[in-house]
Each structure stands twice: as C-alpha cells, then as structure tokens.
C-alpha cells in the first residue's frame, strides 16, 4: 500500500492524538497536573520548503533520501566499494 504525504500526515496526527490521550490517562491514574502544552510551531517558511524542491527539480524527496543520495555521491567520488554504494542505493527504494 503506497502512502501519500496526506495519508502520512493524517497518521501522524492520529498518533499524536493517541499519545496525548494515553498521557492524560496516566496522569489521571497518578493524579498529576498536566504540563503546559507547547505552542504549535508554524509550518516551515515557503522559502525553506522550495529550496530542496528547487535543487531536485521539483521532485518530491524527503530529507533522509536526499542525505543518503548525497552520501552515495560523496563516497562514489572518493572511490568507495561498489557493494557499499549499491547497499545505500537499496535504502533509497
């Protein structure tokens, strides 16, 4: 099953909601007052989001994959073992 960014975002929100519910249950069981809620950070500015997209030609790629790709490139230029490069390439799939 392929996950889109929208589905992934919904799953993250659901996971956060469940965690907060469980924390509230545990506080109720122990009798502690809840800590203050952190202020929700605003989304990343459009400029930061478009920087990675500009470098990749608009292809949607997450930060981890970009880091692995950069690592493959650097290791290739340094003459790393082909098996290592293939193993890192496998992580991109």
Give the closest residue to 20 by CA, choosing from 40, 2, 50, 44: 40
**Domain tally, the chain:** 2
Other Cβ atoms within 10 Å of 72 Cβ, number: 19
**91 and 50 in a common domain:** yes
User: Tokens representing 26?
Assistant: 């545990």
The sign of the CA dihedral 87, 89, 91, 93 is negative
Residues 92 and 49 in one domain: yes
pTM for the model: 0.39
Please tell me whether residues 8 and 31 are part of one structural domain.
yes
Is there a single domain that holds both residue 30 and residue 59?
no
Clarify whether residues 34 and 53 are in a common domain. no
Quick one: 8 exposed, middle or buried, by C-beta within 10 A (0-12, 13-18, 19+)? exposed
Shared-domain flag, residues 49 and 37: no
Same domain, 67 and 26: no
What is the tens place of the pLDDT at every residue in 14-65? 898 999 888 888 877 777 666 676 776 655 555 555 555 666 566 677 888 8
């Amino acid at each position: 099953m392929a996950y889109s960014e929208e589905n992934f975002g919904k799953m993250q929100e659901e996971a956060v909601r469940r965690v907060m519910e469980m924390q509230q249950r545990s506080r109720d069981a122990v009798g502690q007052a809840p800590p203050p809620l952190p202020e929700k950070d605003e989304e990343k500015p459009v400029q930061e989001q478009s920087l990675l997209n500009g470098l990749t030609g608009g292809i949607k790629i997450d930060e981890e994959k970009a880091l692995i790709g950069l690592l493959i490139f650097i290791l290739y230029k340094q003459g790393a073992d082909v098996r290592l490069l293939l193993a890192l390439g496998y992580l991109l799939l």
